[in-house]
């Protein structure tokens, strides 16, 4: 399921979607995994449930702030009030900031429910987030018609953000 979601983020299969819209979905998805990983890395909470709640709230705030910035930028660029359709369109996009973090959050919560301590649950979620980032880098390379080596490099660079979060978690705690 997560792989299909990432593939949807990276592909241009929807004929009504512009390349810019696909690019924005990918950007939001990558940011979502990185933001959720950062919250898991830096948070000092005593339960998996509280951490999952704070991750979701933080992602919601990031989504709202990003959408606000898009609306303001559109107002400036167009120089006039947006139509209801334009405004609604701007506010209904970018959910990948939240939705791409569902799998790492599910791992966080599931491992906690299975009895793992919070550090182990966070580590498992960060590993899954890192895998998603690697997959994103790989799919970007595939969609961009990169060579095998370039795709590996793309996946490695994307995954490195997750690895850095894991290292930061290890240093902070």
What pLDDT digit, counting tens, does each position of 96-153 carry?
A: 999 999 999 999 999 999 999 999 999 999 999 999 999 999 988 888 889 999 999 9
Domain boundaries, the chain: 2-10+17-172
Instruction: Read off the pLDDT band of 164 (50, 70, 90).
Output: very high
Q: What is the pLDDT of residue 10?
A: 46
Instruction: Read off the pLDDT band of 14 (50, 70, 90).
Output: low
Q: What is the pLDDT of residue 7?
A: 47
Average predicted confidence (pLDDT) for the chain:
89
Taking alpha carbons only, the member of 157, 165, 156, 56 closest to residue 105 is 56
Residue range 41-70: mean pLDDT, rounded: 95
């Amino acid at each position: 399921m997560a792989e299909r979601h990432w593939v949807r983020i990276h592909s241009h299969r929807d004929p009504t979607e512009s390349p810019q819209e696909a690019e924005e979905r990918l950007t939001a998805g990558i940011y979502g995994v990185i933001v959720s990983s950062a919250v898991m890395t830096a948070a000092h909470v005593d339960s998996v449930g509280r951490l999952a709640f704070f991750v979701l709230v933080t992602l919601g705030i990031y989504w709202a702030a990003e959408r606000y910035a898009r609306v303001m930028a559109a107002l400036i660029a167009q120089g006039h009030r947006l139509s209801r359709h334009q405004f609604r369109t701007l506010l209904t996009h970018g959910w990948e900031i939240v939705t791409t973090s569902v799998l790492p959050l599910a791992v966080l919560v599931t491992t906690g429910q299975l009895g793992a301590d919070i550090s182990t649950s966070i580590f498992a979620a960060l590993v899954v987030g890192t895998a998603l980032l690697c997959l994103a880098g790989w799919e970007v390379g595939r969609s961009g018609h990169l060579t095998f080596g370039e795709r590996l490099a793309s996946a490695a660079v994307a995954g490195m953000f997750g690895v850095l979060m894991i290292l930061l978690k290890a240093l902070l705690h």
